Structure 1
Amino acid sequence: MFCRLRNNRKIYLTFSRSLTEKTTSNENSLQYCANIVRQYDYENYLATLLMTKALRSPAFVIRALNAEVARVQDQTTDPQTAAMRLQFWHDAVNSIYQNKHSSKVPANPITQELYKVCLSYKLQKRYVERLISSRNSLLKTKYFKTMEELEKYSENTVSTIYYLLLGIAGVTNVSADHAASHLGKAQGIANVLRSVYVSNYHKTILLPMDILMKNEVSQESVLRGNDNENIRNVIFEVASRANSHLEKARSIDVPKITNQIFLPAIAVDKYLTKLQDANFNVFDKSLLHGSPTLPLSLYYRRLLNKY
């Protein structure tokens, strides 16, 4: 496994040296990818920094792609414009897998680096495409009917990232895939809880409709930020599902190299604990601030090689 990882790393570095990317600053394309993750996905940025050199750079590229696709909805309130931006990434991925020369790939720092990563590590196209298509589907529906739909969306958007990172690490292990699936669902559900304020700005409700209806909570009350016992029951039920997936992921025995890939589990755990301390008041402003101890916790768990 480690020999394969070193060989892939050499191939990737060869690609990086042989291609010249045009950027709007003095930063090279890899640094550009890292900066995108730092700006829009800070907790995963901290976790990625602690990965070994062989994994860190390609991991930043995958996470930069995800960050760019994920923030399409935040960049515009026009569904048609958002769909066009997602189509750019769809076309870019098709171009990457159809062409053997980088000159035919869009001259974008992320697409150029993604081209090298996909070819160097032979990443499955279906996983890369899934990151984009799942967001496109949400643009059309704008809500989840059931918790199962939210779990499927989390699988497609977050677990898929872990599948790609496992591919980069050369890990082909059923247990690792199983853990990645559960961790992705836990993180995806937690992201929905954390994004209630953002979703309100776009006048969309991402909390599962079946749970809202069961607890007699209207969409309007969520949009207004009304805190009451019913909405707390909704948040408790959704958070409990996230915690269940997190515990399941941590209970699975995985290859040692996988532990560093799953470090974001620490941030998910901290948020769910903080939400519990707030008595599941998702509108509590303290939840808007990240944990000041997260960097130290990540570093400590990395030393223990645990997630």
Structure 2
Amino acid sequence: MREAFKRLNNGIFMVIKRSATTISNAQYCMKLVKNHDYENFVTMLWLKRDARSCAFAVRSFNIEVSRIAEQVTQREIGLMRIQFWDDVVNHCFSNESRKIPRHPVAIELFKAVHNYGLSKRNLKNLLNSRREYFGVNGFKTLDEMEKYLELSVSSAYYLILQACGIKDINADHAASHLGKAQGIVQQLRNVPMSQRLNFVSIPQELLTKYRISHEELFRCKPSDLLGNCVYEMASRAYQHLMKARSLQKNISVDGRRVFLPAIATFAYLDRLQKADYNIFHQKLKYRPWDLLLQIWLSNFRNQH
């Protein structure tokens, strides 16, 4: 087991070394977020410079952890990689920088923890939520999904709010709701990829309620019943999104910038409605051409 873990780490570092030879650690994190989480990437560019570097460290860490399930098929190896990042978090809260692996994301996370006093609990939530659901192929209920999203998505918002120096109950409340809305939308986006991901992102209670089989999802076969099912999930996401937006008047301008991803979340729900909740509609595969303009206008008007 120890030898396997050593080989795994060596493999990770060889890839990172080749990737990071010509770019800084911070640039590596930005590129990682841009390639795998573009909507969050463009919205973080509006954060203040100091907070921005911390936000990219948090988002890149979350990406590294979330992608393990996609990259690894063997449960043992997947859990070993999660443990690797668990150890990184623990080392970040020690005063011994020599224990931090020479990994760009680990180095940037260490800086963020020490410069901004990030919450260890929220970093652990990002990890433990993935560990708990590693190898699981779906959620039982929508409530269970929301509990998972609170840990795996909302926790990232709490950390970025910390980076911005914002300690406000309204901001935390909005972060909780936006995290759930954004997370549900991401689960809806994953439905056409259910077979490839080996994960059914519609909770089993809804599949049973609307008499939808896994085979229908794997075959990307639209139906009225599936449309009703998607509508119920989308409605829950919309409720969380509207609650998050209703709280923005009580949040500072810097805090509101953290919630700019709400623009992309709303844009997807709007397009889904126009597609009559056909989750397999071709137009849903592409971002709106005016998304960047929408984000710029929302930031200019301080309405997110």
TM-score normalised by length of structure 1: 0.90
Q: Which of 110, 113, 117 in structure 2 is aligned with 1:115?
A: 110
The corresponding residue for 1:212 is 207
Q: Does structure 2 retain, via aligned residues, the 8 Å contact 1:72–1:85? A: yes
Q: Does 1:224 align with 2:219?
A: yes
Equivalent position SS for 1:145: coil
The equivalent position to 1:47 in structure 2, one of 30, 43, 46, is: 43
* Equivalent residue number for residue 154 of structure 2: 159
Name the structure 1 match of 2:52.
56
Q: What is residue 247 of structure 1 aligned with on the other side?
A: 242
1:30 match: 26
Task: Spell out the pairing of 1:52-201 with structure 2 (5 A cutoff).
Answer: 52-97=48-93, 99-201=94-196
Match of 1:6 in 2: none
Paired AA for residue 198 in structure 2: K
Post-superposition offset of 1:54: 2.3
Unaligned runs of 5+ in 1: 1-20
Unaligned runs of 5+ in 2: 1-15
**1:139 alignment partner, SS class:** coil
Aligned letter for 1:287?
L
Q: Which amino acid aligns with 1:288?
A: K
In 2, Cα distance between the equivalents of 1:171 and 1:135? 27
Corresponding residue to 2:265 among 255, 265, 268: 268
Contact 2:149–2:179, Cα closer than 8 Å, also in 1:
yes
Aligned length: 286
Deviations 1:36-93 (A, max 9, x none): 0001001110101121212211111111111111111221233332222212111111
Deviation at 1:24, TM superposition (A): 3.1
Please give the alpha-carbon distance, in whole angstroms, between the structure 2 residues aligned to 1:282 and 1:79.
30
- State which drifts further: 103-112 or 79-88: 79-88
Q: Secondary structure at the match of 2:23?
A: coil
Distance 1:95 1:110 in 2: 13
Q: 1:167-223: per-residue Cα shift (whole Å, max 9, x none)? A: 111111111111110000000000000111333213321211111111111122212
- The one-letter code of the counterpart of 1:291 is P
CA distance in 2, matches of 1:77, 1:282: 27
Q: Tell me what 2:7 maps to.
A: none
Candidates 293, 296, 303, aligned match of 2:293:
296
Q: Alpha-carbon deviations, 1:239-288, whole Å to 9, x = none?
A: 00000000010001322221100000000000000111111011112211
| Equivalent pair of 1:203/1:223 in contact (CA under 8 Å) | no
**Which residue, 202, 227, 232 being the options, matches 2:197?**
202
> More deviation in 74-83 or 48-57?
74-83
Query: Which residue of structure 1 lines up, in the alignment, with residue 11 of structure 2?
Result: none
Q: What amino acid is aligned across from residue 63 of structure 2 in structure 1?
A: A
Task: Name the amino acid aligned to 1:281.
Answer: N
Report if aligned partners of 1:77, 1:202 keep a CA contact under 8 Å in 2. Answer: no
Tell me if structure 1 keeps the 8 A contact 2:20–2:28: no
8 Å CA contact 2:194–2:217 kept in 1: the answer is no
Looking at structure 1, the residues matched to 117 and 20 of structure 2 have their Cα atoms a distance apart, in angstroms, of 29
Q: Given residue 24 of structure 2, which amino acid in structure 1 is its aligned partner?
A: N
Name the aligned partner's letter for residue 114 of structure 1.
L
Task: Give the percent of matched residue pairs that are identical in Structure 1 and Structure 2.
Answer: 39
